[in-house]
Amino acid sequence: MAQIQAVRAAGSTGRKRTMKKMLERSLLYVIIAFFSVIFMIPFLWMVSAALQSDMYTLGGQWFKQFLWSNFAQAFGQKDFKFLLALRNSAYYTVFATLFFTVSSVLVAYGFSFFRFPFRDKLFFFLLATMMIPSTVMFIPNYVMFANWQWTGTYLPLLIPALGGGPGTIFLLRQFMLTLSISLFESAKIDGANSLTILWRIVLPNIKAPLILVVIQQVSAHWSDFFGPLMYVGNDAATRTLSVALSTFNRVFYVQWSYIMCIALFMAMPPVILYFVSQRFLMQDFVLSATEK
Protein backbone atom coordinates (compact mmCIF):
# COMPACT_ATOMS: atom_id res chain seq x y z
CA MET A 1 0.00 0.00 0.00
CA ALA A 2 2.74 2.43 1.04
CA GLN A 3 4.72 1.40 -2.01
CA ILE A 4 1.86 2.24 -4.35
CA GLN A 5 1.44 5.63 -2.72
CA ALA A 6 5.12 6.36 -3.06
CA VAL A 7 5.01 5.48 -6.76
CA ARG A 8 1.94 7.63 -7.23
CA ALA A 9 3.58 10.55 -5.44
CA ALA A 10 6.67 10.20 -7.60
CA GLY A 11 4.47 10.12 -10.70
CA SER A 12 2.67 13.32 -9.77
CA THR A 13 5.84 15.24 -8.98
CA GLY A 14 7.22 14.01 -12.30
CA ARG A 15 4.11 15.26 -14.02
CA LYS A 16 4.40 18.56 -12.18
CA ARG A 17 7.95 18.82 -13.36
CA THR A 18 7.09 18.23 -17.01
CA MET A 19 4.21 20.69 -16.64
CA LYS A 20 6.59 23.29 -15.27
CA LYS A 21 9.06 22.56 -18.03
CA MET A 22 6.42 22.86 -20.73
CA LEU A 23 5.24 26.15 -19.27
CA GLU A 24 8.80 27.42 -19.25
CA ARG A 25 9.37 26.32 -22.83
CA SER A 26 6.22 27.99 -24.11
CA LEU A 27 7.09 31.18 -22.22
CA LEU A 28 10.52 31.09 -23.89
CA TYR A 29 8.93 30.82 -27.33
CA VAL A 30 6.51 33.64 -26.56
CA ILE A 31 9.39 35.91 -25.52
CA ILE A 32 11.50 35.03 -28.57
CA ALA A 33 8.59 35.48 -30.96
CA PHE A 34 7.64 38.80 -29.34
CA PHE A 35 11.13 40.23 -29.63
CA SER A 36 11.72 38.94 -33.14
CA VAL A 37 8.58 40.82 -34.22
CA ILE A 38 9.89 43.94 -32.45
CA PHE A 39 13.20 43.54 -34.28
CA MET A 40 11.45 43.35 -37.64
CA ILE A 41 9.30 46.45 -37.09
CA PRO A 42 11.80 48.98 -38.52
CA PHE A 43 12.17 46.88 -41.65
CA LEU A 44 8.41 46.50 -42.05
CA TRP A 45 8.00 50.23 -41.43
CA MET A 46 10.45 50.88 -44.25
CA VAL A 47 8.50 48.61 -46.61
CA SER A 48 5.23 50.24 -45.61
CA ALA A 49 6.57 53.80 -45.94
CA ALA A 50 7.96 52.96 -49.37
CA LEU A 51 4.62 51.72 -50.63
CA GLN A 52 2.21 54.38 -49.40
CA SER A 53 1.92 58.11 -49.72
CA ASP A 54 3.64 60.20 -47.07
CA MET A 55 0.29 61.36 -45.75
CA TYR A 56 -0.28 57.97 -44.10
CA THR A 57 3.29 57.47 -42.97
CA LEU A 58 3.46 60.85 -41.27
CA GLY A 59 0.07 60.15 -39.72
CA GLY A 60 1.63 57.13 -38.04
CA GLN A 61 -0.32 54.59 -40.08
CA TRP A 62 1.15 51.72 -42.01
CA PHE A 63 0.29 49.41 -44.91
CA LYS A 64 -2.60 51.63 -46.01
CA GLN A 65 -1.63 51.54 -49.68
CA PHE A 66 0.51 49.47 -51.97
CA LEU A 67 1.69 51.95 -54.58
CA TRP A 68 4.28 49.92 -56.47
CA SER A 69 4.66 52.86 -58.83
CA ASN A 70 6.48 54.68 -56.00
CA PHE A 71 9.54 52.67 -56.94
CA ALA A 72 9.48 53.77 -60.56
CA GLN A 73 8.95 57.38 -59.52
CA ALA A 74 11.68 57.25 -56.89
CA PHE A 75 14.17 55.78 -59.36
CA GLY A 76 13.12 58.29 -61.99
CA GLN A 77 13.65 61.44 -59.90
CA LYS A 78 15.56 63.90 -62.04
CA ASP A 79 18.04 65.38 -59.59
CA PHE A 80 18.73 62.13 -57.73
CA LYS A 81 20.13 60.41 -60.85
CA PHE A 82 19.44 56.97 -59.49
CA LEU A 83 20.92 54.96 -62.35
CA LEU A 84 24.20 56.85 -62.21
CA ALA A 85 24.43 56.41 -58.45
CA LEU A 86 23.63 52.71 -58.80
CA ARG A 87 26.31 52.32 -61.44
CA ASN A 88 28.85 54.09 -59.21
CA SER A 89 27.98 51.96 -56.19
CA ALA A 90 28.20 48.77 -58.24
CA TYR A 91 31.50 49.83 -59.79
CA TYR A 92 33.03 50.63 -56.40
CA THR A 93 31.69 47.44 -54.79
CA VAL A 94 32.82 45.07 -57.54
CA PHE A 95 36.31 46.44 -58.05
CA ALA A 96 37.15 47.12 -54.41
CA THR A 97 36.03 43.60 -53.48
CA LEU A 98 37.96 42.06 -56.36
CA PHE A 99 41.19 43.96 -55.66
CA PHE A 100 41.01 43.43 -51.93
CA THR A 101 40.24 39.71 -52.07
CA VAL A 102 42.77 38.79 -54.77
CA SER A 103 45.67 40.54 -53.09
CA SER A 104 44.71 39.30 -49.63
CA VAL A 105 44.78 35.75 -50.99
CA LEU A 106 48.17 36.25 -52.63
CA VAL A 107 49.71 37.78 -49.50
CA ALA A 108 48.26 35.12 -47.21
CA TYR A 109 49.63 32.46 -49.57
CA GLY A 110 53.07 34.05 -49.49
CA PHE A 111 53.07 34.12 -45.68
CA SER A 112 51.82 30.53 -45.41
CA PHE A 113 53.93 28.44 -47.79
CA PHE A 114 57.20 30.23 -48.46
CA ARG A 115 60.25 30.76 -46.30
CA PHE A 116 62.01 34.10 -46.69
CA PRO A 117 64.07 36.34 -44.43
CA PHE A 118 62.16 38.35 -41.80
CA ARG A 119 58.93 36.56 -42.68
CA ASP A 120 57.75 36.08 -39.12
CA LYS A 121 58.78 39.57 -38.09
CA LEU A 122 56.86 41.01 -41.04
CA PHE A 123 53.82 38.97 -40.15
CA PHE A 124 53.99 40.14 -36.57
CA PHE A 125 54.11 43.70 -37.86
CA LEU A 126 51.03 42.98 -39.98
CA LEU A 127 49.17 41.85 -36.88
CA ALA A 128 50.33 44.96 -35.03
CA THR A 129 48.88 47.24 -37.74
CA MET A 130 45.47 45.74 -36.96
CA MET A 131 45.61 47.23 -33.47
CA ILE A 132 46.01 50.82 -34.65
CA PRO A 133 42.78 52.59 -35.58
CA SER A 134 42.95 54.30 -38.95
CA THR A 135 41.90 57.68 -37.52
CA VAL A 136 45.37 59.18 -37.62
CA MET A 137 46.07 57.97 -41.17
CA PHE A 138 43.13 59.56 -42.84
CA ILE A 139 44.15 63.24 -42.89
CA PRO A 140 47.60 62.58 -44.49
CA ASN A 141 46.04 60.07 -46.88
CA TYR A 142 43.45 62.61 -47.91
CA VAL A 143 46.13 65.25 -48.42
CA MET A 144 48.20 62.87 -50.54
CA PHE A 145 45.25 61.91 -52.73
CA ALA A 146 44.26 65.56 -53.05
CA ASN A 147 47.79 66.42 -54.18
CA TRP A 148 47.70 63.62 -56.72
CA GLN A 149 44.33 65.01 -57.86
CA TRP A 150 42.67 61.70 -57.15
CA THR A 151 39.84 63.18 -55.07
CA GLY A 152 36.55 63.13 -56.89
CA THR A 153 37.48 59.76 -58.42
CA TYR A 154 37.35 56.24 -57.03
CA LEU A 155 41.12 55.75 -57.10
CA PRO A 156 41.63 56.61 -53.38
CA LEU A 157 39.21 53.81 -52.52
CA LEU A 158 40.36 51.23 -55.08
CA ILE A 159 44.15 51.53 -55.10
CA PRO A 160 44.63 50.97 -51.33
CA ALA A 161 42.44 47.86 -51.67
CA LEU A 162 45.24 46.40 -53.80
CA GLY A 163 47.31 46.12 -50.61
CA GLY A 164 44.86 43.69 -49.01
CA GLY A 165 43.70 43.95 -45.42
CA PRO A 166 45.61 42.65 -42.38
CA GLY A 167 42.52 41.08 -40.78
CA THR A 168 41.62 39.18 -43.93
CA ILE A 169 45.21 38.12 -44.61
CA PHE A 170 45.43 36.79 -41.07
CA LEU A 171 42.14 34.90 -41.41
CA LEU A 172 43.05 33.31 -44.76
CA ARG A 173 46.49 32.38 -43.53
CA GLN A 174 44.95 30.60 -40.53
CA PHE A 175 42.92 28.46 -42.92
CA MET A 176 45.80 27.89 -45.34
CA LEU A 177 47.99 26.64 -42.50
CA THR A 178 45.48 23.88 -41.73
CA LEU A 179 46.15 22.37 -45.20
CA SER A 180 48.67 19.58 -45.28
CA ILE A 181 52.04 20.73 -46.52
CA SER A 182 52.71 17.34 -48.16
CA LEU A 183 50.10 18.04 -50.85
CA PHE A 184 51.89 21.25 -51.57
CA GLU A 185 55.36 19.68 -51.64
CA SER A 186 54.38 16.83 -53.94
CA ALA A 187 52.75 19.21 -56.42
CA LYS A 188 55.93 21.26 -56.34
CA ILE A 189 58.03 18.19 -57.13
CA ASP A 190 55.70 17.42 -60.04
CA GLY A 191 56.83 20.76 -61.43
CA ALA A 192 53.66 22.80 -60.84
CA ASN A 193 54.43 26.47 -60.38
CA SER A 194 53.31 28.43 -57.32
CA LEU A 195 50.30 30.05 -58.98
CA THR A 196 49.03 26.71 -60.30
CA ILE A 197 49.31 25.24 -56.82
CA LEU A 198 47.44 28.20 -55.35
CA TRP A 199 44.68 27.87 -57.94
CA ARG A 200 44.40 24.07 -58.07
CA ILE A 201 45.16 22.97 -54.53
CA VAL A 202 44.93 25.81 -52.04
CA LEU A 203 41.87 27.76 -53.18
CA PRO A 204 39.49 24.78 -53.50
CA ASN A 205 40.31 23.90 -49.91
CA ILE A 206 39.55 27.31 -48.43
CA LYS A 207 36.30 27.97 -50.30
CA ALA A 208 34.19 28.62 -47.20
CA PRO A 209 36.32 31.38 -45.64
CA LEU A 210 36.92 32.83 -49.10
CA ILE A 211 33.20 33.13 -49.77
CA LEU A 212 32.79 34.71 -46.36
CA VAL A 213 35.46 37.30 -47.15
CA VAL A 214 33.82 38.15 -50.48
CA ILE A 215 30.43 38.56 -48.82
CA GLN A 216 31.83 40.75 -46.06
CA GLN A 217 33.60 42.89 -48.63
CA VAL A 218 30.58 43.27 -50.89
CA SER A 219 28.37 44.29 -47.97
CA ALA A 220 30.99 46.63 -46.55
CA HIS A 221 31.62 48.48 -49.82
CA TRP A 222 27.98 48.58 -50.84
CA SER A 223 27.09 50.14 -47.47
CA ASP A 224 30.22 52.28 -47.19
CA PHE A 225 29.37 55.89 -46.56
CA PHE A 226 32.39 57.62 -45.08
CA GLY A 227 34.91 56.63 -47.77
CA PRO A 228 32.83 57.72 -50.78
CA LEU A 229 31.69 60.86 -48.95
CA MET A 230 35.23 61.94 -48.15
CA TYR A 231 37.12 61.00 -51.31
CA VAL A 232 34.52 61.00 -54.08
CA GLY A 233 32.15 63.60 -52.69
CA ASN A 234 28.63 64.63 -53.47
CA ASP A 235 28.72 65.32 -57.20
CA ALA A 236 25.62 63.94 -58.92
CA ALA A 237 27.67 62.22 -61.63
CA THR A 238 30.14 60.40 -59.39
CA ARG A 239 28.50 59.86 -55.98
CA THR A 240 27.37 56.49 -54.66
CA LEU A 241 23.85 55.55 -53.65
CA SER A 242 24.70 55.92 -49.97
CA VAL A 243 25.96 59.49 -50.38
CA ALA A 244 23.04 60.42 -52.63
CA LEU A 245 20.58 59.01 -50.12
CA SER A 246 22.14 60.88 -47.21
CA THR A 247 21.87 64.11 -49.19
CA PHE A 248 18.30 63.60 -50.27
CA ASN A 249 16.90 62.92 -46.85
CA ARG A 250 17.77 66.54 -46.09
CA VAL A 251 16.19 68.41 -49.00
CA PHE A 252 13.30 70.65 -48.07
CA TYR A 253 10.85 68.88 -50.37
CA VAL A 254 11.77 65.48 -48.96
CA GLN A 255 9.47 62.72 -50.19
CA TRP A 256 9.72 60.02 -47.57
CA SER A 257 8.21 57.34 -49.77
CA TYR A 258 10.90 57.88 -52.40
CA ILE A 259 13.65 57.93 -49.78
CA MET A 260 12.33 54.68 -48.33
CA CYS A 261 12.08 53.06 -51.79
CA ILE A 262 15.76 53.75 -52.33
CA ALA A 263 16.69 52.72 -48.77
CA LEU A 264 14.80 49.48 -49.31
CA PHE A 265 16.57 48.94 -52.60
CA MET A 266 19.92 49.53 -50.88
CA ALA A 267 19.04 47.02 -48.17
CA MET A 268 18.23 44.27 -50.67
CA PRO A 269 21.70 43.10 -51.82
CA PRO A 270 22.98 42.48 -48.26
CA VAL A 271 19.74 40.71 -47.36
CA ILE A 272 19.94 38.48 -50.44
CA LEU A 273 23.63 37.81 -49.80
CA TYR A 274 22.74 36.82 -46.26
CA PHE A 275 20.28 34.19 -47.44
CA VAL A 276 22.64 32.89 -50.10
CA SER A 277 25.50 32.62 -47.67
CA GLN A 278 23.69 31.57 -44.52
CA ARG A 279 25.22 28.16 -44.23
CA PHE A 280 28.73 29.46 -44.78
CA LEU A 281 28.25 32.39 -42.49
CA MET A 282 26.73 30.62 -39.52
CA GLN A 283 27.41 27.09 -38.36
CA ASP A 284 30.80 26.12 -39.68
CA PHE A 285 32.36 29.43 -39.73
CA VAL A 286 31.42 31.15 -36.50
CA LEU A 287 32.05 27.94 -34.61
CA SER A 288 35.46 27.32 -36.06
CA ALA A 289 36.43 30.97 -35.70
CA THR A 290 35.56 31.04 -32.02
CA GLU A 291 37.38 27.79 -31.37
CA LYS A 292 40.61 29.19 -32.67
Partner 1 sequence: MKWTMSRREAVTGILFVLPWILGCSLFFIRPFFMSIYYSLTKYDVLGSPQWVGMKNYTDLLWHDPETWKAIFVTFKFAFLNVPATLLTALFFAVLLNQKVKGLSLWRTLFYLPAVIPGVASAVLWRLMFSESGILNKALGIFGVAPFHWLENEATVLPAFVIMNCFAAGTGIVLYLGALQGVPTNLYESAEIDGAGRFVRFTRITLPMISPIVLFNLITSIIANLQAFDQAYIMTSNNNDIQSWGNPNGATYFIFLKLYKAAFVDFQFGYAAAISWVLFAIIAVFAALIFRTSQAWVYYENMNAKGR
Q: Write the binding mask 176 to 215 for partner 1: x where contact by CB under 8 A, - elsewhere.
A: ------------------x---------------------
Shortest distance, position 88 Cβ to partner 1, whole Å? 14
- Rounded to an integer, what distance in angstroms lies between the CA atom of residue 172 and that of residue 169? 5
Residue whose CB is less far from partner 1, 151 or 205:
151
- Binding to partner 1 (CB under 8 A) within 88-117 occurs at 103, 106-107, 109-111, 113-117
CB of 86 vs partner 1, minimal distance in Å: 13
Minimal distance, residue 166 CB to partner 1, in Å: 8
CA distances from 237 to 83, 96, 159 (A): 10, 19, 21
Q: Does 122 bind partner 1 (CB under 8 A)?
A: yes
Closest-CA residue to 176 (of 98, 97, 117, 114) = 114
Measure the CA–CA gap between 20 and 191, rounded to whole angstroms. 68
Nearer to partner 1, 7 or 23 (CB): 23
First to last CA, the chain: 60
In the complex, what is the shortest distance from the CB of residue 267 to partner 1, in angstroms, rounded to a whole number?
4
Residue among 7 and 234 whose Cβ is closer to partner 1 = 234
Closest approach of partner 1 to the CB of residue 253, in Å: 13
Smallest separation, CB 198 to partner 1 (Å): 9
Site for partner 1 contains 266 (CB under 8 A): yes
Site string for partner 1, 129-158 (x = CB under 8 A): x-xxx-xxxxxxxxxx-xx-----------
Nearer to partner 1, 14 or 284 (CB): 284
Q: Which stretch binds partner 1 (CB under 8 A): 26-34, 78-86, 176-184, 204-212?
A: 26-34
